[in-house]
Amino acid sequence: MTRAVIRLRSTINASHEVKLTLHSLRLNRVNHCVLVPEEKSYDGMLQKAKDFITWGEIKPEVLTNMIIKRGRLTGDRPITNQYIKENTKHESLMKFAEAVANGRFKYGSLKDVKPIFRLHPPRQGFEGIKRSYHDRGSLGYRGEAINDLLLKMLDTPAKKQEAPKKAAPAKTVAPKPAAAKPKAPVAKKEAPAKPAAKPAPAKPAVPKPAAKKAEASPAKKEAPKKAAPAKKPAAPKEESK
C-alpha cells in the first residue's frame, strides 16, 4: 500500500531534526502532499514529524482524481492518458493509479513527473493543527480517513459571489395636477363715488392793528460829575537841628 502524507503546520518553532526530516520527505510547504511506500524506513521519519503532518493509506479512485487535478509534469504540463500509455506499461491513468496505490509502481518513477501535489486548504479548515487525530485534531496517522481530507483539499475553493445589487425602487412620479382653466375676469363693482365735500366757508380776514410807533423815550440827562477835592499841600518838614 502507498500512503499519502500532507504537511499541515509551519516549522517556525520546529527542531533542526524535524526540519531535516520534512526536507527529506520533500514537504517544504504547508498543504503539500507526497506519496510514500509502506516501508519501515519511512515509518521512523513519519513518527519524527508527526506533530507537523498527517498520513494514511490512499485509495485508487482518490489518487486518480488527485493526479488529474493536481498531478504535474515538468513545465507545468498535466498528466494525461496518452502520456501514461507512451511512458508506462499501463493502458490508462486509472490503471496507473491502481498500480501506484497498491505499491506495484512508484509514482516518482514516472518520467518528468513532479513528486509533489499542491493542495488547497480544506473547506471549513482543519479540526485542530495542535492535536492528534485521535484527540479530535488533525495531526498524525489517520488511516483511510486521509481520503476524506484529500477530497476536501482537492476541491477548488469557490469564489465569493457578490450578491446582486438590488435595483433601487423606481420613484413614483406623482401625476401633475391638470392646469386650472383660467377664470373669466369678474367685473368689479365700482363703489359709488362719495359726494364731494363742501368747501368750508372762508373766514373773514381780520385786519391786523397797525404797529404803534415807538415813542421816543426822553434822553436821560447825565448827572454832572463832581469835581474831585483838591489835595492839601504837604507840610514842610522841619529841618533837624
Residues belonging to the chain: 241
Residue 98 has what pLDDT? 94
> Distances in Å between the alpha carbon of 224 and those of 217, 219, 221, 227?
21, 15, 9, 9
Note the pTM of the prediction, 2 decimals.
0.62
Burial label for 236, CB within 10 Å (0-12, 13-18, 19+), is exposed
Residue 27 has what pLDDT? 95
For the chain, what are the domain ranges? 2-154
| Pairwise CA distance, residues 171 & 175, whole Å | 12
CB-based contact 34:27 (threshold 8 Å): yes
Q: Which of 43, 18, 61 is nearest to 150 (CA)?
A: 61
Mean pLDDT per 10-residue segment, the chain (241 residues)? 92 91 94 93 92 94 94 94 93 94 93 94 79 86 92 68 58 64 61 60 59 48 56 54 40
Question: What's the CATH fold of domain 2-154?
Answer: Ribosomal Protein L30; Chain: A, (3.30.1390)
| Pairwise CA distance, residues 59 & 64, whole Å | 9
| Pairwise CA distance, residues 53 & 178, whole Å | 81
The continuous run of DSSP H or E covering 3 comes out as strand 2-7
Residue 122 has what pLDDT? 85
